[in-house]
Amino acid sequence: MKTLPRLSASCSHIAAAALFYIRESQKLDDYREFFRSFYTSAVDDVAVSRTFETREEADAWLAHGDAKENERVKIAGQGFQVIPARKGGGWRFLRSPLPEELMKEHECCPPSAH
C-alpha cells in the first residue's frame, strides 16, 4: 500500500486524500455513480417545456407570443432560456446548456479509463 506524505488538516488536503483513497482502492466507478446520484435532484429540476428541431421553428414559436419569461426550451439538442428582448418588446433566446449537456462536457474520463 502506498503512503501519503504528512499533510496538514486543511479541507483541500482532506478532500485530496479522500479522492486518492477512492482511486487507489479501485472504487472510482462507485464514486462516480454516487456523485451522479447526489446531484440528480438538481438535474430533475430543469424542465424543458418545448423541443424544436430547428432554430427557425423555435423563432417562429417565439414570434407567435406564447413564450413565458425564463421558460426552458431545447433547440436542435441544445438548451435555451426565454428572456426579454433588449430593445422593444418581445422575447429572445439565451443559450443555457441543459444538465445533460453539462454532464457530457464535464465527464472527466470514461468508466473504462482507469
Per-residue HEC secondary structure of 55-99 comes to HHHHHHHHHHCCCCCCCEEEECCEEEEEEECCCCCCEEEEECCCH
> Using an 8 Å Cβ cutoff, are 52 and 61 in contact?
yes
Of 54, 52, 97, 94, the closest CA to residue 70 belongs to 94
> Using an 8 Å Cβ cutoff, are 79 and 71 in contact?
no
> Using an 8 Å Cβ cutoff, are 83 and 91 in contact?
yes
Q: Which residue, chain included where needed, has cell 428572456? A: 83
pLDDT by position in tens, the chain (length 114): 555 555 556 777 788 888 888 889 888 888 777 776 666 565 667 889 999 999 999 999 999 988 999 999 999 999 999 999 988 789 999 999 988 887 776 665 444 444
pLDDT for 79: 94
pLDDT for 99: 83
pLDDT for 112: 43
The Cβ-side half-sphere exposure at 66, using a 13 Å CA radius, reads: 9
User: The whole model's pTM is what?
Assistant: 0.56
Angle at 56 between CA 91 and CA 79, to 5 degrees: 65
43 SS3 class: helix
